[in-house]
């Protein structure tokens, strides 16, 4: 490997370590602290939280951020090995990096597509890791001096050398053991659809966490949200977009929480529509959710049929990729929602959608989902369901004293 190639590998792996370590820290805080606001959440479209807390933030139950950190640490280690001409693996180190980076490249292309075209979100830290992976892939490929087809044979030889040399073997075992420990210790998405099936299954909130949560909640500003409470003491309002990945996440994750309080007459949950589509929302800036208005109107039409919930399940279950088209939504409104006169109702029902969007603009809603509990806005970070449950319980107990 040339000195230039090694310097590039060291530089981009170090950059990747910094970005992925920051990503790991942010993701960890989002999972463990409901009051945490990420420093890289600049706007609704430049937002790390939506990427980390979406279904793309983990793969097969394993959080992506710490895996990325381990990948960059591996590249950094291999670049260090390549600089030691006395090391048996100095020649093969670039090939190992190239092999691993081929998999990493495919993965970041998938994540990039999901972020930019499905979630419609730009994650700054994610973008830095994408660039680093691409640069490492190109550099390591150019630095590999032999056909990759010979790598298995060379790897077998390197492994025998590794086993016979105590120090490199210990370092390798420490790296593997440390990687396993990090992944095992990293908290999982307690509110993921697969895990949050019942309210009883939610991770418990400790007394200390509850006290901290209540203290933070007490100082949150209150605004007037003009929706009918119908006698309820606690009103939760969600501004929703049916083509928003984070809206789907909360739809699934918060379902057991809202089901827990559904029979409580002191509690009311209201969904308002805030489609990020200019046809029905003048506040949609740069939105390209081209079937959001049709989806919102279709769900409103399905209420009279008693099939709104079923239609919501279908829409969020088919959110993409690829993204739903207006025609697909209209067909689902007919086949799933049982509404056969969509076109004749659309113009009238769309006025209700526009009224919801106007209310959202009045309340300075600028992203979806946005939640209010008794006029207090939840942070843009997606609050874990156990903390949402605790906030509702805190409000109920205060209101019924």
Summarised one tens digit per residue, pLDDT across range 301-360 is 999 999 999 999 999 988 876 778 999 999 999 999 999 999 999 999 999 999 999 999
DSSP three-state, residue 62? strand
Question: In the predicted model, is pLDDT for residue 270 greater than 90?
Answer: yes
Predicted pLDDT at 169:
59
- What whole-number distance in Å separates Cα of residue 189 and Cα of residue 123? 19
197 has a pLDDT exceeding 70: no
pLDDT at position 188: 58
pLDDT over 90 percentage in the chain:
49
* Predicted pLDDT of residue 374: 96
pLDDT digits (tens, 9 = 90+) for 19-30: 999 988 888 877
- What is the Cα–Cα distance from 58 to 115, expressed in whole angstroms? 13
Helices 292-303 and 326-335, packing angle to 10 deg: 10
Whether residue 190 is predicted with pLDDT greater than 70 in this model: the reply is no
CA distance 302 to 285: 28
Whether the predicted pLDDT of 184 surpasses 70:
no
Residues 96-112, mean pLDDT to the nearest whole number: 92
Residue 269 has pLDDT above 60, yes or no: yes
Q: Strand 370-373 to strand 234-240: parallel, antiparallel, or no bridges (unpaired)? A: antiparallel
Strand order in the sheet with 234-240: 267-273, 234-240, 370-373, 376-377
pLDDT more than 70, % of the chain: 84
Q: Which domains does the chain have, with CATH numbers?
A: 3-185 (1.20.1440.130), 199-399 (3.40.30.10)
More confident residue, 22 or 121: 22
pLDDT, mean of residues 183-198: 50
* Res. 134 pLDDT band, cuts 50 70 90: very high
């Amino acid at each position: 490997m040339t000195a230039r190639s090694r310097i590039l590998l060291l530089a981009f792996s170090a950059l990747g370590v910094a970005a992925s370590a920051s990503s790991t820290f942010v993701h960890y805080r989002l999972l463990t602290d409901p009051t945490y606001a990420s420093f890289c959440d600049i706007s609704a479209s430049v937002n790390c939280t939506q990427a980390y807390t979406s279904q793309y933030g983990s793969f097969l139950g394993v959080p992506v951020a710490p895996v990325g950190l381990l990948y960059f640490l591996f590249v950094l280690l291999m670049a260090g090995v390549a600089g030691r001409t006395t090391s048996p693996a100095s020649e093969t180190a670039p090939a190992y990096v190239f092999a691993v980076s081929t998999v990493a490249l495919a993965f970041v292309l998938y994540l990039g597509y999901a972020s930019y075209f499905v979630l419609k979100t730009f994650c700054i830290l994610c973008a830095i890791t994408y660039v680093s992976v691409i640069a490492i892939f190109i550099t390591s490929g150019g630095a590999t001096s032999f056909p990759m087809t010979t790598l298995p044979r060379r790897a077998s030889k390197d492994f025998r050398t590794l086993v016979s040399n105590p120090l490199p073997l210990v370092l390798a075992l420490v790296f593997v053991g440390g990687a396993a420990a990090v992944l095992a210790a990293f908290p999982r998405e307690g509110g993921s659809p697969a895990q949050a099936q019942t309210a009883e299954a939610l991770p418990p909130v400790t007394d200390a966490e509850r006290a901290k949560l209540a203290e933070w909640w007490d100082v949150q500003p209150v605004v007037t949200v003009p929706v009918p409470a119908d006698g309820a003491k606690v009103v939760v309002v969600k501004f929703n977009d049916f083509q928003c990945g984070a809206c789907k996440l909360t739809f699934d994750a918060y379902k057991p929480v809202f089901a827990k309080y559904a029979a409580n007459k002191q509690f009311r949950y209201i969904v308002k529509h805030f489609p990020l589509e200019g046809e029905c929302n003048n506040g949609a800036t740069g939105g390209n959710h081209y079937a959001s208005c049709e989806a919102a109107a279709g769900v409103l039409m399905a209420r009279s049929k008693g099939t709104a919930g079923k239609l919501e399940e279908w829409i969020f279950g088919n959110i993409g990729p690829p993204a739903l088209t207006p025609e697909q939504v209209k067909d689902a409104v007919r086949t799933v929602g049982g509404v056969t006169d969509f076109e004749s109702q659309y113009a009238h029902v769309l006025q209700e959608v526009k009224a919801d969007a106007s209310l959202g603009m009045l309340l300075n809603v600028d992203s979806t989902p946005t939640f209010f509990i008794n006029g207090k806005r939840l942070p843009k970070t997606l609050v874990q369901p156990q903390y949402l449950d605790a906030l509702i319980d805190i409000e109920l107990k205060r209101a019924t004293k």
